[in-house]
Structure 1
Amino acid sequence: MCVVALFLATAVAPAFAQETSPPEPLAGEEARDQALLDAADSIAEQVSRIRGLPLLNEIPRGVKDREELRTMLIEQLHDEIPEAIFVAEEQMFKRLGLFGPEVNYRQLMLDLLTEQIAGFYDQSAKELYIMVGLPEQLQHSAMAHEIFHAIQDQHFDIGALLAPFSSQENGDFALARMALIEGDATVLMIDYVLYEEKTLPAGRALSAADIPMIAAMLLEMDTEQLAAAEQLGGSAMIGVNTDGVPSLTDSVLGSAPRIVRDLLLFPYVEGMRFVLRARANRTWTDVDAIYTNAPVSTSQILHPERYFAGELPLDVRFDASEALAEYEPMFDSVLGELQLRSWLATHADVYTHLPEPGPAAEGWRGDRLLGYRNEQDQVVAVHVSSWESEDDAREFAQYQAQIAEARYGTSTSHQTGTHGESWCLRHGPETDGHRVYVERWGELVLLIEGAPSTLDEEGAEIDPTTYLARQAVWSSLSRMPFEGTLRDREAAAREDIAEDATSSPNPHPGADDPSP
């Protein structure tokens, strides 16, 4: 959802608060730092040659220890993500059963910041930060990854790629764009290590994508295997522990809720696979061209054939606020195939009788999740999804009904009609209960989770909230081609960038100077 997507963007391109001058380094530290800066120059030349993209400007760079990097990123997290966003998303995760009641979302993300640091490129300041204390092999592969982000930014403008939609507005769009950015950098890092190990011949435009055995291995390995692979050491995908050893198991990330793990790993793992498939039997110039028409959904990343066929999602819009007069809107975003799959898989992990969740999310065409909260912090989630066929919609709706039955230990009532079907479940006491309502109408699925419910003495429902919310959704629902929405937002983003460039002084004077 939105915080995780913004967290990913922060890890690649944060804008930092003013930092104080560090203490004067010892002579040994000066030599160490200078050696790292010299290594960065050499690695930048290698990365540029391997990827076929020239370094257009020198990259200002600095050396920091783990604690300094952690402090800088935590300050960015506080500056960029207000507490209210964390609270809203945490409440939505808990409403949908994706977080346990004990999870503190902000603290979890702070803990991940502590763990998932190996250096980074600051897109706003156009600076590279190198972390000291890593073994040389991990240090150099991490630098290759982050240096390539600087080269990407010089050629393709990372900020403009992410600009059309904030991660709060469309978390799926943000994840798709981050998957291209991080996936490309991860393949580059793998190629860099292979060149260093002489597996790839120097001076030839080869990649892991050109070696069928290596490409097949990377496409088939699961996340745990990829995290354990030595050649991926140092990547932010897996983190580096205090001994400088790549680790996923027994880490903060490894023990985080599934949806957090899925969203944080997705840009690196599935992004890498997308780029490998895009590069297969093609050239890096072909991959470069993708940046001019970058993916807009995780469905395109998970199924590259959809990207190359030009299949775009639908922009789903609706409003249920009129029916929820005692509630305030607190969440509005697009989940997309990846998050829907993770949503289902989270419950399949707990309720093992549920079927394999992957197929139930593959027919995704578009969706939107709205959240509403009252003064008692009770949350109502309203989700509408659009699917490629009625069969796809039915599979997703049935899965949601099964999740509701498993979570609340009671059966749903099921009704069918000419154009659709519905499932309804009630849980809780008679005067303060809640309902889960699922309805399929053609290739659309509506889910209302957490609407209040009160029964009369005969056991009949007397709270109309679920019915009114249903009516409000269907009466306000629209589905539009995403292409038009994206075009309008890209134009608005370009205007904002142009206005900022003309009205704001450069906050980083000298950022183009080649000084270390």
Structure 2
Amino acid sequence: MQRGLGGRGLILAGWLAAIATCMVPCAAFAGQTAAPAGQQPESSTTAQAPMTKAQAKELFRSVDEIMSFVSSDSKLPIEHRVKRKLISRDQVNRYLTKKFNEDEGTKRMERSEIVLKKFGLLDRDFHLRPFLLSLLTEQIAGFYDNKTKTVNLLDWIPPDQQKPVLAHELTHALQDQKVGLTKWSDVTLENTANNVQQDNQHIQMDEADTARDAVAEGQAMAVFVDYTLRPTGKTLADAPELGDRLQDMAADSNGSPVMARAPLLLQQSLLFPYTDGLSFEQAILVKKGAQAAFADVLENPPSSSFEIMNPQAYMSHAPVPVLRLPDIHPLLDAEYTPYDVGVMGELDVRMLTELFGGRKVATALAPQWAGGVYYAAQRKSAVTEAEKDSTASIALLYYSRWKNADAARSFLCVYASEIPRKYSGVVRRTQDEADGNEQIYSTNEGDVLLSISGDGVFISEGFELPLARKLRDQIVGIQPTGPLQTAQVQPHELSLGLAHTLSSFGIIRAAALQRYTFEGYPSTAR
């Protein structure tokens, strides 16, 4: 899929990835160090006086000490000293707003928004751009800039609260020295696919940026936890229960008003690199040690959200399910312009099924995913900007494979239940259905065809029924019957593009990490 849908996941992750390519994904833990037991941490949005010169000097001096800890903990060598800079909240906000307005990633993000809405992952009346600007200004904190090789420190956060944040950010600095993060973290194809070769190239490369973001942030989170646990003598590797505790805390949006009202897609795709990335790194740490979890993973990164969510599959070199598209352009190009193509990965399925069917359904179905691909085209009859911005201008197809026929049918039921909520004027046309494996609907945006064959589910929204059936037959017919093709080391995924872009701005849910209280473990923040 094009940057912006994903590879990061449907669309969201890709967008966020594209917005700030000069900045490595980083965590903005504004004041999010562990709070002493029984004490609530300050809100990241609470106004605080700028630090004194003495405090600034202490914080600058601590950079080298913390860098040594990070190197020892991660086994990543220090190649050179890292530059440091103290910046104000206004400077951060002005920089991010300017970058958001000018960056090519914003344009890709806005283009992808319509596909997310077509899938039902965003409400039709949701406006992503102003929401993300609000989120940026609420969530931003310190960051490492891999373009200038500088760690940017915040003049409104006390030094003791920034030191664990520094452990996170300086992990990015050592990653940068190891592999060159600007090039390493952004490998998604830029241009719209216009033929079958480009379609499948995009599909092959669709989730890589998402997976690499999860590696970068997961490693930084692991070091952050180890730094916080220093007084106990424990680490994430020998206190593995902390990983689950962090997942639970990250899911709590208390203290982040903007994130609390964010759509599920935005919340989960934003958190994915930090929470699932941490779980991925923790699994490798426990089984294989620091060298494998840090340097080795940077050298041979996973290629998909599937591997991040299933670290055992990554460690055992299990094939990553990747489907193919036939040459559908002769059927479409007279009336449609190619708009987007890509992977619907396991993370996308988890979010989609939770949104449509609830968390229990998502927990049960997502692990049964065995590959998914989508294609979006825009009607050439849509001429005005208003017409092009409408989901009615987009026709969408989505083909997924499942580990068994029961899982495929369950997914079809979940997806079908959402059709009346996505469209108006929905009427089921049972008289047009060829057999019990088809569901056909009329909607205000055209025909909808849902079809199941064995362990495969085909969905068409907006294509006229005869064309939809031709597309289905070609797509189902080209898929392998044996083991699925393995993804290359560079895919992207629809929703995760958002996470990639946001993380590259230096964003993380500050409120979640502000609540970092490890029960039973003393805190480094006093």
**TM-score, normalisation: structure 2:** 0.73
1:450 match:
462
In the other structure, the counterpart of 1:467 is 469
After TM superposition, the structure 1 = structure 2 runs for residues 384-423 of structure 1, keeping only pairs within 5 Å, are: 384-405=399-420, 407=422, 413=430, 421-423=437-439
Map of 1:366 onto structure 2: 371
RMSD: 3.3
Q: Which moved more, 1:276-285 or 1:176-185?
A: 276-285
Kindly state the Cα deviation for residue 103 of structure 1 after the two structures are TM-superposed: 1.5
2:448 equivalent to 1:427: no
Report the secondary structure of 1:280's partner residue. helix
Residue 249 of structure 1 deviates from its aligned partner by 4.5
SS in 1 for 2:207: helix
Any conservation in 2 of the 1:145–1:189 contact (CA below 8 Å)?
Answer: yes
1:305 to 287, 302, 312: 312
Counterpart residue identity of residue 219, structure 1: D
Q: Distance in 2 between matches of 1:67 and 1:191?
A: 31
Tell me if 1:111 matches 2:145.
Answer: no
1:154 aligns with 2:177: yes
Q: Residue 267 of structure 2 aligns to which amino acid in structure 1?
A: R
Tell me what 1:102 maps to. Answer: 125
Letter in 2 for 1:285: Q
1:142-291 pair list within 5 angstroms: 142-166=165-189, 169=202, 170=205, 172-195=207-230, 198-200=231-233, 207-211=235-239, 215-219=240-244, 222-223=247-248, 225-226=249-250, 248-288=254-294, 289-291=296-298
Rounded to whole Å, the distance in 2 between the matches of 1:299 and 1:328 is: 30
| Cα displacement (A) at 1:218 | 2.5
SS at structure 2 position matched to 1:209? coil
Spell out, residue by residue over 1:405-437, the C-alpha distance to the aligned partner (whole angstroms, 9 max, x if none): 5555655749687xx933222224xxxx52221
Q: Quote the Cα distance in structure 2 between the aligned partners of 1:49 and 1:58.
A: 15
Please list every run of 5 or more consecutive structure 1 residues that lacks an aligned counterpart in the other structure: 17-26, 201-205, 229-246, 453-462, 490-516
SS in 1 for 2:170: helix
Retained in 1: the 8 A contact 2:23–2:144? no
- Listed one character per residue, the Cα deviations across residues 72-95 of structure 1 (whole Å, up to 9, x for unaligned) are 233333444355423321111111
Instruction: Output one character per residue of 1:308-341: Cα deviation in whole Å (capped at 9) or x when no partner.
Output: 2212223323254433332212122223100111
Paired residue for 1:40, among 47, 63, 68? Answer: 63
Q: CA deviation at 1:210?
A: 0.8
Partner of 1:496: none
Aligned residue for 2:452?
440
C-alpha change, 1:222 and 1:47, in structure 2 (3 Å) is closer
Quote the Cα distance in structure 2 between the aligned partners of 1:78 and 1:476: 42
SS at match of 2:322: strand
Answer whether contact 2:51 2:155 (CA < 8 A) is retained: no
Deviations 1:5-56 (A, max 9, x none): 245546886259xxxxxxxxxx986555433322222221222223332311
Assess, with a 3 A threshold, how the Cα gap between structure 1 residues 13 and 50 changes in structure 2: closer, same or farther.
farther
Aligned in 2, Cα 1:227/1:294: closer, same or farther, shift over 3 Å?
same
The count of residues paired between Structure 1 and Structure 2 equals 430
Contact 2:18 2:106 in 1 (8 A): no
Measured in 1, the distance between the counterparts of 2:119 and 2:267 equals 17
CA contact (8 A) 1:123 1:159 kept: yes
Aligned to 1:207, what secondary structure does the other structure show?
coil
SS where residue 323 of structure 2 aligns? strand
Determine the structure 2 residue equivalent to 1:5.
Answer: 13
Farther-moved stretch of structure 1 (180-189 vs 251-260)? 251-260
User: Which one is further off, 113-122 or 79-88?
Assistant: 79-88
| Partner SS state of residue 316, structure 1 | coil
| Partner-residue secondary structure (3-state), 1:426 | strand
The CA deviation string for residues 483-505 of structure 1, in whole angstroms up to 9 with x for no partner, is: 4744899xxxxxxxxxxxxxxxx
- Per chain length, whose mean CA-contact separation is higher, i.e. which structure has more relative contact order (CA < 8 Å, sep 6+)? 2
Q: Is the 1:328–1:373 Cα contact (8 Å) retained in structure 2?
A: yes
Contact 1:344 1:357 in 2 (8 A): yes
The one-letter code of the counterpart of 1:189 is F
Q: Identify if the C-alpha distance between structure 1 residues 175 and 323 changes in structure 2 by more than 3 Å, giving closer, same or farther.
A: same
| Contact 2:146–2:173 (8 Å) recurs in 1 | yes
**Counterpart contact for 1:13–1:123, Cα < 8 Å:** no
